[in-house]
């Protein structure tokens, strides 16, 4: 993620609608080493444990796409994936012990991400599921389980394991069905291989298929974008995610990072609107700027994607965990050399090391309010005002964020539902500018911490 410049104070819109993709707040670049290394048993002692979310991170990919700044490495020397699962097992045992036995522990959702979880072999995926079930106590067949995959690793044997172990959603990173565009994004793949993978996924009968697509790729046109959308729609995916291309530092396309290109912004907005309207016309409902769900898709639970809420337990060296008072993880990096070093350190750790939090950021009430507003407002359904009042001592969002909400309203980004409105929501144009709205809601302290982060 790129650093965030200070929010503007007037009603004028920011210079770009694509400032940063805000999928978690605060971002890891605002985390710092925790000198006191608090014990997990203390952090979780008073947290509700009856509806936890479990996330397991696999930091390996067969190739790293040119736009990717996720915590992952290319390939794995012989024995590394096994050693990583050994460490994951040790960490799971330490975390489960820290949760204690006094209060019932129940997981309401689970997810495997990365990286590419299906980089693991079928046997290793079995072991990954065993860690989630036998070490952590998550009943994978009874809760929504989402798994990320790539076309090259969505093999029949792996998919059979995932389906048998209870996977309810598989997300396939396609990005483009056009081979030339895929090469331009430094994602070597052939459409024929993508189509074959999609066929195997449908044969596996996993209930929800999600396809990721990217707009704004060099050379992409309205016609090629529509062709990719139609190629995806031919598989009747229950979900589609449409991502604007970002070019970030330390990535394969990073030589252009930091450039301001109004023409590119205009192109991305045009392609976004074209894609949005195309999916709406084909029976999809917009959930956020990125997410579109087929109207008849099976639900994934009361809170489909709870991976950014409090009560999140992340396992693996790229995962985050969230309690009400602290968000924590391991060290963060984007560069290949640094990521390899962090993974090597992780696999060498004894079990006792996993009983502490090492990197993180403390969360006070003010930050909790910002996070709740940000995460709710960026959803098409918006923020329930009564729920906000119930959470935060009877205060309304406009009591806490009057300046920010006034700016959004002046730009036409905030819906005006009158004085009796029960929901605070974005207009369609506001949703289109989600990646400008999110960073404007960052607190000065978080913005300063992100700006001071030394990229590595």
Q: How far is it, in rounded angstroms, from Cα 405 to Cα 369?
A: 14
Helix (H) or strand (E) holding 15: none
What pLDDT was estimated at residue 439?
95
pLDDT given at position 308:
54
Domain ranges of the chain: 28-294, 365-452
**pTM for this structure?**
0.92
Residue keyed to tokens 């990229």: 455
CATH class of the region 28-294: alpha beta
One-character DSSP codes across 379-425 = BTT-EEHHHHHHHTTT--HHHH-HHHHHHHHHTT-B----TT-SEE-
For 182-217, what is each residue's pLDDT tens digit?
988 878 889 999 999 999 999 999 999 999 999 999
Name, in order, each residue with C-beta under 8 angstroms of 355's C-beta and a sequence gap of 6 or more. Answer: 39, 40, 41, 94, 97, 98
The neighbouring-strand residues paired with 213 are: 175, 242
Residues 440/15, Cβ–Cβ less than 8 Å: no
Selection from 117, 205, 170 nearest residue 300 by Cα: 170
How far apart are the two ends of the chain, measured CA to CA in Å?
A: 12
SS3 content of the chain, % helix, strand, coil (to 5): 40, 15, 45
Residue 363 has pLDDT above 90, yes or no: yes
pLDDT in tens, 369-397: 999 999 999 999 999 999 999 999 999 99
In this structure, whether the domain defined by 365-452 belongs to CATH 2.60.40.10 is answered with no
């Amino acid at each position: 993620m790129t650093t965030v410049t200070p929010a503007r104070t007037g009603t004028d819109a920011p210079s770009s609608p694509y400032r940063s993709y805000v999928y978690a707040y605060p971002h890891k670049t605002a985390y710092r080493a925790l000198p006191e290394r608090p014990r997990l048993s203390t952090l979780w002692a008073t947290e509700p444990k009856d509806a936890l979310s479990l996330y397991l991170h696999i930091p390996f990919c067969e190739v790293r796409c040119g736009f990717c700044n996720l915590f992952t490495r290319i390939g794995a020397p012989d024995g590394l994936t096994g050693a990583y699962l050994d460490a994951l097992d040790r960490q799971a045992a330490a975390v489960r012990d820290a949760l204690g036995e006094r209060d019932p522990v129940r997981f309401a959702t689970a997810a495997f991400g990365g990286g590419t979880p299906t980089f693991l072999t079928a046997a290793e995926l079995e072991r990954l599921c065993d860690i989630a079930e036998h070490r952590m106590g998550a009943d994978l067949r009874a809760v929504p389980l989402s798994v990320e995959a790539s076309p090259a690793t969505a093999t029949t044997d792996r998919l059979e394991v995932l389906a048998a172990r209870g996977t309810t959603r598989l997300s396939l990173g396609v990005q483009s069905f056009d081979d030339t565009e895929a090469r331009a994004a430094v994602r070597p793949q052939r459409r024929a291989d993508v189509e074959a993978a999609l066929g195997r996924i449908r044969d596996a009968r996993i209930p929800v298929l999600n396809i990721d697509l990217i707009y704004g790729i060099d050379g992409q046109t309205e016609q090629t974008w529509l062709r990719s959308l139609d190629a995806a729609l031919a598989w009747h995916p229950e979900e589609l995610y449409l991502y604007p291309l970002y070019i970030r530092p330390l990535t394969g396309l990073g030589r252009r990072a930091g450039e301001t290109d109004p023409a590119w912004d205009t192109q991305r907005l045009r392609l976004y609107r074209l894609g949005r309207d195309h999916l709406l016309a084909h029976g999809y409902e917009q959930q956020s700027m990125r997410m579109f769900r087929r109207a008849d898709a099976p639900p994934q639970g009361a809170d489909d994607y709870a991976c950014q809420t409090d009560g999140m337990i992340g396992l693996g060296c790229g995962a985050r965990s969230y309690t009400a008072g602290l968000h924590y993880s391991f060290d963060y990096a984007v560069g290949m050399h640094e990521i390899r070093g962090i993974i090597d350190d992780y696999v060498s750790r004894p079990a006792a090391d996993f009983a502490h939090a090492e990197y993180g950021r403390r969360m006070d009430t003010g930050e909790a309010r910002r996070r709740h507003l940000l995460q709710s407002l960026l959803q098409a359904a918006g923020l329930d005002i009564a729920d906000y009042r119930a959470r935060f001592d009877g205060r309304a969002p406009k009591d806490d964020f009057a300046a920010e909400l006034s700016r959004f309203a002046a730009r036409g980004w905030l819906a005006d539902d009158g004085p009796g409105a029960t929901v605070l929501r974005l207009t369609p144009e506001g949703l289109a500018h989600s990646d400008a709205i999110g960073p404007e809601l960052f607190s000065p302290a978080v913005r300063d911490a992100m700006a001071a982060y030394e990229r590595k």
